[in-house]
A and B are shown apart, each in its own frame.
Chain A
Amino acid sequence: MSTDSIASGGIAARIAGFVRRPEAGTLAGLIIVYVVFAVLGGGLFIGAPGWSSFLNMAAEVGIIALPVGLLMIAGELDISVGAVLPAASLTVAIISGHYDLPVYYGVAAALAVGLMVGAINGFLVTRTTIPSLIITIGTMFGTMGLTLGFTVMIAGSTGVFMTPDDISRALLGQFVGGMFRVTIFWWVAFVVGTFYLLHISRWGNWVFALGGDRESARNAGIPTRRLTIGLYMYSGFAAAFVGVSQVITFQSAQVAAGQSFIFNSIMCVVIGGVLLTGGAGTVFGIVFGTLTFAIVNQGIFFSGIDPNFGSIIIGTLLLAAVLSNDSFRQMALSYASKKS
């Protein structure tokens, strides 16, 4: 965005400047999608039942999508989130349910598990030349194996129950107004924190640099190793957090849960304008992408469209979003190179 256009045009130029940012396309898509489902779904969708249903979904996948998005901007992938989530749920369930220790022991242990898996991911990614897709598939299998092995060994089954105490239920597991999961507020907190990280603090610039060109970033003095490990620990923490919030809300944990988050989080991030190749993306883009995903996912149930068509619509939407992001980006680039 050239300074010329903003200085010499006032409001119109400001809006024109915004339109060329990548989030603009995602926001436009979000609004269109909401309007479509509002029309189809009527009063229920526009009211609390609609909002709570997609916000609940958005919050869960959104918390994971944020660090997954950061990692993608930095040029990496994390597949292991799908296994960290149930690992965390089961840690809480086993420690606080099976062994009956105070809930906060279980929660602390679960979050520690997330951080640990993240640290291992980060360590392996930075110390070997193996691509992160492969490493995180490996840690996914490893974590799945450990989770299944320990759960069956300790609890004798693949699902464990627990009963949260009042404080943890209020903080992590309640339904505000009977419909809105408290996780939504935690999501907002994660959004604020991630926004600060990526767009305000200097670390954010480091993340973009890492995704642009790792070598150049390192040469510029950026501690690329520590940054990568930190990002993976964040994603492990986020996945663990969602796992914790799930088990406290629903009071049971399953070994097989969480797989859907792998591709769902990638979808939210990509719809939100983050480039798979790294170096570009915004937190608001990720948030808009998450909301779009959740609205389509849930809106179908309110719309009278056969829910069996749900996946078809989501998949088509993903492709449409990604293709149009592509076009927006070409537009933005071509504007920048016009002769003054």
Chain B
Amino acid sequence: MINIRVLLHSPAAASILSLIGTLVFYVVFGGVELGQLVGAASWLNFAANLGIVAIPVGLLMIAGELDISIGAMIPAGAMATAIISGYYELPIIFGILGALSIGVIVGFINGMLAIRTTVPSLIITLGTLVVMQGVVLSASKLLTGEASVALLAPDWAKFLFGQLIGASHQVIIIWWVAITVVLAFVVHLTRFGNWIFAMGGDRESARNTGIPVDRMTIYLFILSATSASFVGVCQAILFNSAQVSGGMNIIFNVIVSVVVGGVLLTGGFGSVIGIFMGTLTFAIVNQGIYFTQIDRNWSSLIVGVMLLLAVLMNESFRKMALNYVGLKRTKTKAVENE
């Protein structure tokens, strides 16, 4: 049943090579003990926190949109949980629901602005990013007086969202794998998934075939903001606190993971498994360097080089997939795509 050629031409194909390439690089040039690296908590934890956000952002990219507000939604989710259930000491369930609701609201706003105006989603979500940064800071300072809020979650919440399995692996890894499986199923096996690709391929044509393009856009933005919020919730419960974070690195980390995973920035092409692989690759590059003899200060350089090589490889694989002609037929004129 598995068609090898279909696999090779899938968006995820090149991302597997990127992953392997990175591992080979680290083993050969970095002297990594593969046994040590595989299954190590440090990069798996990193990957899970990144991956849960990367997939919805990747889906938005396939649908032809961008969402950078996730950079502020993670601390927003964490802070909401901490303030509601830590500072105000309401039951943790309210904190979790509150945080997720904020994700839904912000996602809804992003989506509405995207469909009602001609402003590109990069700019819209830049606006909501900045606004949410301010909201998190204001809420924290004005309500609690501090830039860091403590939270002590009850055991069941800790078990579900914040425990360390084997004292090292965050339970969010399991959430990540589960979410990946569910979204991979929806995107690649259901009609809704096809709609996402259609929207990204040609929005107007998709609309003409009856696909509810506007509704789907809003759902996708809600999904991405809420996923980011969820990651924040897990972090707050795990670390027993939330802070007004400064680093916007997560935005670029997500984009790199998604793009290395084979998603096309211009939309219409990509896969959930590919994004999963891209996240793994990024996490290994970023964290795996600690297992090597290479000075960790060079890790960003390796990310940059890896990104460019991975994207070039993705481009080649995609062109191959487009130009493929059946083995039995004589070669016909390949189509100019650009």
Contacts and interface: CB of A to CB of B under 8 A. Distances in A.
Given A134-B265, A134-B311, A270-B123, 10 more contacts: A130-B315, A138-B308, A144-B301, A259-B248, A263-B129, A309-B134, A311-B137, A312-B134, A318-B127, A319-B124
Contact of A130 (B127, B128, B308): B308
Nearest to A133: B265
Nearest to B255: A137
Contacts of A148: 297-298, 300
Contacts of A145: 297-304
Given A135-B308, A139-B304, A306 B138 contact: yes
B130 A142 contact: no
Contacts of A267: 126, 130
Interface residues of B, number: 45
Interface in B286-338: 295, 297-305, 307-308, 311-312, 315, 338
A153 B138 contact: no
B120 interface: yes
Contact of B266 (A131, A141, A143, A152): A131
Interface in B126-154: 126-135, 137-138, 141-142
A277 B123 CA distance: 11
Contacts of B113: 319
Interface string A307-324: 011111111101100110
A149 B297 contact: yes
A323 B119 contact: yes
B117 interface: yes
A318 B302 CA distance: 35
9 contacts: A128-B315, A137-B252, A140-B304, A141-B303, A144-B300, A149-B297, A263-B130, A270-B123, A323-B119
Contact of B300 (A133, A141, A313, A316): A141
- From B113, B130, B137, B265, name the one whose CB has the most chain A CB atoms within 10 angstroms: B130
A291 interface: no
A146 interface: yes
A266 interface: yes
Contacts of B255: 133-134, 137
B117 A149 contact: no
Contact of A142 (B129, B252, B300): B300
B190 interface: no
A138 B298 CA distance: 14
Contacts of A310: 134
A315 B311 contact: no
Nearest to B309: A138
B184 interface: no
B259 interface: yes
Contact of B138 (A131, A140, A277, A308): A308
A231 B47 CA distance: 36
Interface string A118-135: 000000100011110111
A276 interface: yes
Nearest to A267: B126
Contacts of A149: 295, 297-298, 301
B295 A153 contact: yes
Please name the 4 residue pairs, one residue from A and one from B, whose CB atoms are nearest each other, closest first.
A145-B301, A311-B134, A142-B304, A315-B131
Contacts of B304: 138-145
A142 B301 contact: yes
A161 to B, nearest CB: 19
B53 interface: no
Contact of B123 (A146, A276, A311): A276
Interface of A: 79, 124, 128-131, 133-135, 137-146, 148-149, 152-153, 259, 263, 266-267, 270, 276-277, 306, 308-316, 318-319, 322-323, 326
A322 B127 contact: yes
B173 interface: no
A142 B127 CA distance: 27
B11 to A, nearest CB: 15
Contacts of B209: none
Given A129-B338, A142-B305, A149-B301, A306 B142 contact: yes
A311 B133 contact: yes
A190 B312 CA distance: 36
B260 to A, nearest CB: 10
A142 B301 CA distance: 4
A146 B298 CA distance: 7
A315 B71 CA distance: 14
A259 B133 CA distance: 15
B115 to A, nearest CB: 14
- From A142, A306, A309, name the one whose CB has the most chain B CB atoms within 10 angstroms: A142
Interface string B248-290: 1000100110010000011000000000000000000000000
A312 B312 contact: no
Contacts of A319: 113, 124, 127-128, 131
Nearest to B265: A131
Nearest to A215: B338
B300 A266 contact: no
B134 A315 contact: yes
Contacts of B307: 134, 137-138, 141
B118 interface: yes
Contacts of A314: 130, 134
Contacts of B132: 315
B130 A311 contact: yes
Nearest to B126: A263
A305 B142 CA distance: 12
Contacts of A124: 308
Contacts of B315: 128-130
